[in-house]
Structure 1
Amino acid sequence: MKILNRSQIYKADAQTLTAQKISSTDLMERAATKAFDWLHQRLQGNPVKIHVFCGTGNNGGDGLVLARHLVEHGYHVVVYVVKYSERRSADFLTNLKRLKARKVWPEYLDEGSPLPEIHPDALIVDSVFGIGLNRPPQPWVGALFEHLNASKAFILSIDMPSGMYLDRLPEDLGKVVHASHILTFQVPKLVFFLPQTGAVIRQWEALDIGLDAAYMDSITSRYELIDPALLRSWYRPRSKFDHKGTFGHALILGGSHGKIGAVALASRAALLCGSGLVTACVPGCGYIPLQTGLPEIMVRTTEDMEEHLELPEVLEGQTAGIGMGLGTGAGVQKAFLAWLKIQKQPVLLDADALNILSLNPKALKHIPEESILTPHPGELKRLIGAWKDDFDKLRIARAFAKKWNCILLIKGAHTIVLGKDRGYINLTGNPGMATGGSGDVLSGMITGLRATGYPPLQAALLGVYLHGRAGDLRVAETGVEALTASDILSGIGMAFRELSGQIPPQPSQNGSKPPQENGSKEPRENGGHQSAENGSQDPAESL
C-alpha cells in the first residue's frame, strides 16, 4: 500500500471525481458513510453519548455527514462546530444544511466558549482538521484538544488526528488530538509510523472509499507498506531434489570476548532462514561455545587478540554478514577496512562494522553496491549524523542510502527499509522485541535469506517482515516483558509457514488495518487486531 503526500491525495480525489463522474459532495458522502458503517457495526445502537467535533473545512464536512447518519439511526449525538475560521468549504456548508434539515442544530465553539463537559464513558468523534493543516491551531483550539484528551473518553479521529501535520512534527504534541482509533481514508499517512508522531496514535484503519484504481496504481510514492502478498509471491519453496548446496553458504563474522552470543544468535537465525551451510568466523574464545551450542554450523577462528585479527576472504558462493559483537579496537578496524576494500558482492554490515565506518567515513566508498546496513538508533546517528526530528532523520537517511547505493534499515516499532529510491515500512513486530540480541537475529535472518538466493532488497524486506512476525507469534505466549531473542528464533519457522500459506494468518500486534479491497494492487493482508500492549480498545468494548 502506497503512502501518499498531500498533493497526491488531492490529485487522487480530483481524478476520482473525473473518472467516476461524481461531485466532491458525493465523494464526501461516500467516505463519511464508510466511517459511519464502521462505527455502527461496532456500536449496534448503544445509547452512549457521541460528541462530534467538526471544523469548517472538508474534514468538518465528513463529521457532519457522519453525525447525520448517526442521528438517522437513533444515536444520542451532540454536534459542535469549531469556528477556528470564518471561511467555510462548499461541501461543509452543503452538509451543514442537510444536518439542519434533520432538526439537528450544532453548538458553535469559539475562543470565548466554555469547554463542553464530556464523560469518560462517552465517545468523541474528532473531525476538526484534516490533511490540509499547515500552521499551529489557535491557542484556544489547542486548549480544546487538551480538554478532549483529558476526558479519558474514546476518541475516533476521521482521516487524521486534528492538530497533526501530514509532513512535519507539530510544535506541541500536547495540543494534538490523541486518537484512540483513526479511520483514515484509502491510505495511511506517514505520521502514523514515526516514533515522535506515532507516540500519540494508538490504532488506525484505512477505509476503502473507492478512489480511482487506475490513478492509484500509476502513482509513484516515496514510501509504501511492506506487502505480505508481494513477499508471498517471492517465496521460494523447496523441491524434492534440492540439496544443501542449493541454498547457499552464510558466513557470519564477528564476536569478541563476552560477545560470542551475538554470533550464535545470528548464525542460528541464518540456519532457520534456510541457508544450506553456515560458517561462523570468531576469535578463539568462541570456538567451544559455538561448536557445542550449534552443532549444525562450522566454525573458523582467528587470534583472540584484537591486534592480530584476521578476517577470511569471502569465497564464491558465500554471503557475508559482519559486525555483531566484533569490537572496534585498532586491530579490528584495520582488519575490517582491509576486508571491506576487497569485497565485490553485497554484504550485510551490522553493529561494530557500522561503528568502524563511522570512525572512518572515507571507507564508505568501499561498501559494495546494494549492501544491507542494519544499525540500531545509536549506530545510525553515528553513521549518518544527528537529526532534529524524525522527518529530518528520514531525509538524511534517504540521502545516505542514495549516495552510497545501499539498503539502509531504520529500526523501530515500524522498521523502515530504505532503498535507493523508495522506503518500505514494516507493520509486524511488538514492544517485546526491544531486547538484547533481537538485532543479531535480524541480521542473521537477512544474511541467511541472501545466502539462499534472494536479491538484497527482497532479503531485507523478507527478513524485517518475518523477524517481526516471529516476535508476534511468540509474544502471544511469553508476554512482552519475557520475550527474548531466542524466543524470536523459535518463531521463525511458524512465520515462514504463515507466509507460505501452510497455516492461516495469526492475529497481528501492530494496531493497524489497511483496507481489504480497493481495486488496486496494494497490500491488504495485515492484521488489524487489538493490541494488548498499546492499551487501546475497540469502541464496542470501551463503551
Structure 2
Amino acid sequence: MKILDRSQIYEADAQTLNAQEISSTDLMERAATKAFDWLHHRLQGNPVNIHVFCGTGNNGGDGLVLARHLVEHGYHVAVYVVKYSERRSDDFLTNLKRLKARKMWPEYLDEGSPLPELHPDALIVDCVFGIGLNRPPQSWVGALFEHLNASGAFILSIDMPSGMYLDQLPEDLSKVVHANHILTFQAPKLVFFLPQTGAVIQQWEALDIGLDAAYLDSVIPEYELLDPTVLRSWYRPRSKFDHKGTFGHAFILGGSHGKIGAVALASRAALLCGTGLVTACVPGCGYIPLQTQLPEIMVHTTAAMEEHLELPEVLSGQTAGIGMGLGTGAGVQKAFLAWLKIQKQPVVLDADALNILSLNPKALKDIPEESILTPHPGELKRLIGAWKDDFEKLKKARAFAQKWKCILLIKGAHTMILRKEKGYINLTGNPGMATGGSGDVLSGMITGLRATGYPPLQAALLGVYLHGRAGDLSVGETGVEALTASDILSRIGMAFRELSGQLPSQPPQNGSTEPSENSSQEPAQNGSQSHSESSEKPS
C-alpha cells in the first residue's frame, strides 16, 4: 500500500473529482459515510453518548456528515464546532446547513468556552484538524485536546489525530489528540509508523473511499507498506530435482570470546531460510560450541580473531554476512577492512562490522553496491550522526543509502528498509522481539535468502517480513516478556509456510486496510474500550 504525501493526497482528490465528475461535497459525503458505516457496524444502535468535535475546515466537514448520519440512525450525538478560525470551508458550510436541517444544532467552542463534560463511557469522534495543519494549534485548542485525552473515553480520529502534522514532529505531543483508533482515508500516513509520533496512535484502518485508481496506480510514493501479496509472488518453491547446491552457500563471519552465540543464531537462521550450505567463520574458541550445537553447518576457524586476514582469499566471491559478535580491536578492524576491499558481491553488514565502518568512514566507499546494512538504533546513529527527531533521522538515513548505494534498515516497531529514493515499511513484529539475539537472527535470515538466490532488495524485504511474522507466531505462546531469539528461530518455518500459502495468513497487528469485527481497538457496545500499546522493538 502506498503512503502518499500531502501534495499527492490533494492531487488524488483533484483527479478523482475530474475523472468521476463529482463535486468535493460529493467526495466528502462518500468518505464520511464510509466512516459512519464502519462505526454503525460496530455500535449497532447501542445508546452510547457520542461527542463529535469538528473544526471549521474540510476535516470538520467530514465530522458534520458523520454526525448527520448518526443522528438519522437514532444515536445520542452532541456536536461541537471548535472555532479556531473565522474562516469556513465551503464544504463545511454546506454540511453545517444539512445538519441543521435535521434539527441538530452544534455547540460552538472558542477560547472562553467551558470544556465539555465527557464521561469515560462516552465515544469521542475527533474531526478538528486534518492533513493541512502546519502550525501549532492555539493554546486553548491544545488545552481542549488535553481534556479529550484525559477523559478516559474512547477516541476515534477521522483521517488524522488532530494536532498531528503530516511531515514534522509536533512541538508538544500532549497537545495532540491521542487516538485509540484512526479511520484514515484511502491510505495510512507516514506519522503512524514513526516512534515519536506513533507513540500516541494505537490502531488505524484505511477506508477505501474510491479515489481515482489510475492516479493511485501511477503515483510514485517515497514510502509504501510491505504487501504480503507481493512478497508471496517472489516466493521460490523447491522442485523435485533440486539439490543442496541449488540453494547456495552462506558464510557467517563473526564471533569472539563470549559472543559465539551471535554466530550460532545467525547461522541457524540462514539454514532455516533454505540455504543449501552454511559455513561459520569464527575464532578457535567457537569451534566446539558451533560443531556441537549446529551439526548441520561447517566451521572455519582461525587461531585468533586477529588472523581473519586470511579470510579474503577464501570468501571473496561468496554470499556473506559479517559482524555478529565480531569485536572492534585493531587487528579485527584491519582484517575486516582488507576483506571489504575485495568484495565483489553484495554483503550483509551487521553489528561490529558497522561499528568498524563508523570508526573508519573512508571505508564506506568500499561497501559493494546493494549491500544490506542492519544497524540497531545506536549503530545507526554512529553511522549517520545524531538526529533531532524521527523526520531528520529518515532524511539522514535516506541520504546515506543513496550516497553509498546500499540497502539500509532502520530497525524498530515498524522496521523501514531504504533503497535509493524508496522506503518500505514493515507491519509484522511485536515488542517481545526487543531481546538479545533477535538482530542476529534477522541478519542470518537475510544472508540465507541472498545465498538461495533472492536479489538483495527482495532478500531484505522478505527477511524483515518473515522475521517479524516468526516473532508474531511465537509471542502467542511465550508472551511478550518471555520471547527469545530462539523462539523466533523456531517459527521461521511456519512463517514460510504461511507466506507460501500452506497456512492461512493472519492480519497485521499494527494496522489494517479492512475493518475487522474482532479488532481489539474498536469501541465495545457498552462504550468501553481496550488499549493496545505500541512499542519500539530494536532488534
Amino acid at match of 1:144: L
- On the 8 A contact 1:278/1:298 being kept in 2, the answer is yes
Counterpart mapping for 1:62-461 below 5 A: 62-304=62-304, 306=306, 310-313=310-313, 315=315, 318-461=318-461
Counterpart for residue 61 of structure 1: 61
Is the deviation greater in 301-310 or in 141-150? Answer: 301-310
Counterpart for residue 498 of structure 1: 498
- On the 8 A contact 1:53/1:81 being kept in 2, the answer is yes
- On the 8 A contact 1:34/1:207 being kept in 2, the answer is yes
Counterpart for residue 477 of structure 1: 477
Tell me: CA distance 1:529–1:386, structure 2 relative to 1, closer, same or farther (3 Å): farther
Amino acid at match of 1:514: T
Q: Partners in 2 of 1:385 and 1:241 — Cα distance? A: 50
SS in 1 for 2:331: helix
Counterpart for residue 520 of structure 1: none
Q: Partners in 2 of 1:363 and 1:507 — Cα distance? A: 42
The Cα offsets for residues 53-99 of structure 1, whole Å up to 9 and x where unpaired, read as 00000000000000000000000000000000000000000000000
The Cα offsets for residues 82-127 of structure 1, whole Å up to 9 and x where unpaired, read as 0000000000000000000000000000000000000000000000
Counterpart for residue 486 of structure 1: 486
Q: Partners in 2 of 1:508 and 1:475 — Cα distance? A: 14
Deviation at 1:236, TM superposition (A): 0.2
Tell me: CA distance 1:212–1:515, structure 2 relative to 1, closer, same or farther (3 Å): farther
Amino acid at match of 1:513: S
Percent identity reads: 87
Q: Partners in 1 of 2:493 and 2:308 — Cα distance? A: 39
Counterpart for residue 467 of structure 2: 467
Amino acid at match of 1:43: L
Amino acid at match of 2:114: P
SS in 1 for 2:413: coil
Amino acid at match of 1:392: E
Q: Partners in 1 of 2:477 and 2:89 — Cα distance? A: 51
- On the 8 A contact 1:248/1:318 being kept in 2, the answer is no
Amino acid at match of 2:275: S
Q: Partners in 2 of 1:93 and 1:193 — Cα distance? A: 34
Q: Partners in 2 of 1:418 and 1:529 — Cα distance? A: 33
Amino acid at match of 1:240: K
- On the 8 A contact 1:513/1:528 being kept in 2, the answer is no
SS in 2 for 1:11: helix
- On the 8 A contact 2:42/2:517 being kept in 1, the answer is no
Deviation at 1:380, TM superposition (A): 0.1
Q: Partners in 2 of 1:7 and 1:50 — Cα distance? A: 33
Deviation at 1:302, TM superposition (A): 1.3
The Cα offsets for residues 445-497 of structure 1, whole Å up to 9 and x where unpaired, read as 00000000000000000000000000001101111001000000011111111
Amino acid at match of 1:213: A
- On the 8 A contact 1:248/1:317 being kept in 2, the answer is no
Q: Partners in 2 of 1:257 and 1:541 — Cα distance? A: 58
Tell me: CA distance 1:308–1:61, structure 2 relative to 1, closer, same or farther (3 Å): closer
Counterpart for residue 20 of structure 2: 20
Deviation at 1:421, TM superposition (A): 1.6
Counterpart for residue 513 of structure 1: 512
Q: Partners in 1 of 2:344 and 2:185 — Cα distance? A: 45
Q: Partners in 1 of 2:308 and 2:82 — Cα distance? A: 70
Displacement over 6 Å in runs of 4+: none
Amino acid at match of 2:395: R
Counterpart mapping for 1:37-52 below 5 A: 37-52=37-52
- On the 8 A contact 2:430/2:468 being kept in 1, the answer is yes
Deviation at 1:48, TM superposition (A): 0.4
Amino acid at match of 1:157: S
TM-score (norm 1): 0.95
Counterpart for residue 523 of structure 1: none
Amino acid at match of 2:151: S
Amino acid at match of 1:262: A
Aligned residues: 528
Deviation at 1:540, TM superposition (A): 3.8
Q: Partners in 1 of 2:60 and 2:146 — Cα distance? A: 19
- On the 8 A contact 1:314/1:320 being kept in 2, the answer is no
Amino acid at match of 2:110: D
Tell me: CA distance 1:255–1:205, structure 2 relative to 1, closer, same or farther (3 Å): same
Amino acid at match of 1:85: S
- On the 8 A contact 1:249/1:276 being kept in 2, the answer is yes
Deviation at 1:514, TM superposition (A): 1.8
Counterpart for residue 534 of structure 2: none
The Cα offsets for residues 18-61 of structure 1, whole Å up to 9 and x where unpaired, read as 00000000000000000000000000011000000000000000
Deviation at 1:312, TM superposition (A): 4.4
Amino acid at match of 1:7: S
Amino acid at match of 2:139: P
SS in 1 for 2:111: coil
Deviation at 1:508, TM superposition (A): 3.5
- On the 8 A contact 1:431/1:480 being kept in 2, the answer is yes
Q: Partners in 1 of 2:18 and 2:314 — Cα distance? A: 57
Deviation at 1:305, TM superposition (A): 5.1
Q: Partners in 2 of 1:118 and 1:189 — Cα distance? A: 29
Deviation at 1:303, TM superposition (A): 2.0
Tell me: CA distance 1:166–1:229, structure 2 relative to 1, closer, same or farther (3 Å): same
SS in 2 for 1:386: coil
The Cα offsets for residues 170-189 of structure 1, whole Å up to 9 and x where unpaired, read as 00000000000000000100
Deviation at 1:309, TM superposition (A): 5.7
Amino acid at match of 2:269: A
Tell me: CA distance 1:537–1:20, structure 2 relative to 1, closer, same or farther (3 Å): closer
Q: Partners in 1 of 2:288 and 2:170 — Cα distance? A: 54
Q: Which runs of 5+ in 1 are unaligned?
A: 517-526
Is the deviation greater in 315-324 or in 347-356? Answer: 315-324
Tell me: CA distance 1:103–1:308, structure 2 relative to 1, closer, same or farther (3 Å): closer
Deviation at 1:304, TM superposition (A): 2.4
SS in 2 for 1:275: coil
The Cα offsets for residues 265-315 of structure 1, whole Å up to 9 and x where unpaired, read as 000000000000000000111000000100000000012253676434354
Tell me: CA distance 1:353–1:542, structure 2 relative to 1, closer, same or farther (3 Å): farther
Q: Partners in 1 of 2:302 and 2:522 — Cα distance? A: 54
Tell me: CA distance 1:266–1:528, structure 2 relative to 1, closer, same or farther (3 Å): farther
SS in 1 for 2:444: helix
Amino acid at match of 1:367: I
Q: Partners in 2 of 1:362 and 1:268 — Cα distance? A: 33
Q: Which runs of 5+ in 2 are unaligned?
A: 529-539
Is the deviation greater in 316-325 or in 341-350? Answer: 316-325
